[in-house]
Structure 1
């Protein structure tokens, strides 16, 4: 059940949710890129909080180890939670996608406005780990959206003849979420290793 091939196969069962996740993330990036007013203030607060955490981590003894632990546990816990938070009609995965997309779009745009090059920001600072991290987060949110969709369908079919088939669909889906959670954590572990070593070195080098 926990084979990587099973995980890849399961992605086919949430194809529409994956497409929606990509769209929502892209919308978030666009909104962050052009953000002004209250939205800009919200994003600045988000980034300010991350900056404070980063400064505290750099004060420790082994900086790269501190960054690895924070990045891995922060991303892994949130990504697994967002899968099962989909039970609330898929609302939280939508918010998670939009906010993460907005922060990314805002940071890239703002940093470029301060004179940093696209190459330094994206190729050196984002691509090494982001090529794994971003798709994995989108996949986790897609499972959350699928979870919300199943909840809505189950409620809609209460009292109908189709309700008997929902139990089978739920069992199959919950098995898929276990496989997805396992590989999401594994892949985010790899991404965290890359971010706390290669990306860290490239950005500070």
Structure 2
């Protein structure tokens, strides 16, 4: 369950991580240029988060409540997307696309509205915690895609009866051991990101 093992697992899935990253970047661009129904959907997503932030801002211990909300929200979503990836990787792909589009739309919206300094939003509001949170999000989604690939390969081998190309890491016990390692480090890294977002990012944006 060590961090070195976690890094080895990530190194073994470079291809799917690259795919997730490219899809995420493309989704940011799509969110930037979105119009019509997609724009309305993304606007609702952002306004919903704004309402939650407003309620948390009126609570007693603001930073603690922000931390708890951010941490639990991110952990639940990332862990779910890893395991729901078993459904042929569909959920991770949707999750990547939606998050990328929300970020692209938000940045474009802020740039056009002029109500918030775009530099401050990115450097102060997103970057401090985002350097951890966004890679972890992509790792969780990529692992969900890998999970879906495992299920698909198992079904295909079950139908064809071809086990000749199975590698050691493709056996389910070994894969599930990897899954618990990735889950542990996703939670730990999101814990660190939530601390940074509820303290550093919060203070920079308030200041």
Fold shared, TM-score > 0.5 on shorter chain: yes
Alignment of 1:21-170 (within 5 A): 21-115=20-114, 116-158=116-158, 159-162=160-163, 165=166, 169-170=171-172
- CA offsets, 1:119-177, max 9 Å, x none? 21111111000000000000000000000011111111114131894895222211111
Identify unmatched segments of 5+ residues in structure 1.
none
Secondary structure in 1 matching 2:171: helix
Secondary structure in 2 matching 1:126: helix
- How many residues align? The count is 204
Q: Which residue of 2 aligns with 1:175?
A: 177
Distance 2:75 2:183 in 1: 9
Alignment of 1:181-192 (within 5 A): 181-192=183-194
**What is the TM-score normalised by the length of structure 1?**
0.95
Alignment RMSD: 1.5
Where has structure 1 moved over 3 Å in runs of 4 or more? 163-168
- CA offsets, 1:68-110, max 9 Å, x none? 0000000011101111011100000000000000001111111
Identify unmatched segments of 5+ residues in structure 2.
none
Q: Is the 8 A contact 1:33 1:109 kept in 2?
A: yes
Over 3 Å counting, the alpha-carbon distance change for 1:96 and 1:145 in structure 2 is same
Q: Is the 8 A contact 1:64 1:197 kept in 2?
A: yes
Deviates more, 1:10-19 or 1:90-99: 10-19
User: Do structure 1's residue 5 and structure 2's residue 4 form an aligned pair?
Assistant: yes
Distance 1:169 1:17 in 2: 18
Q: CA deviation at 1:55?
A: 1.2
Distance 1:4 1:101 in 2: 27
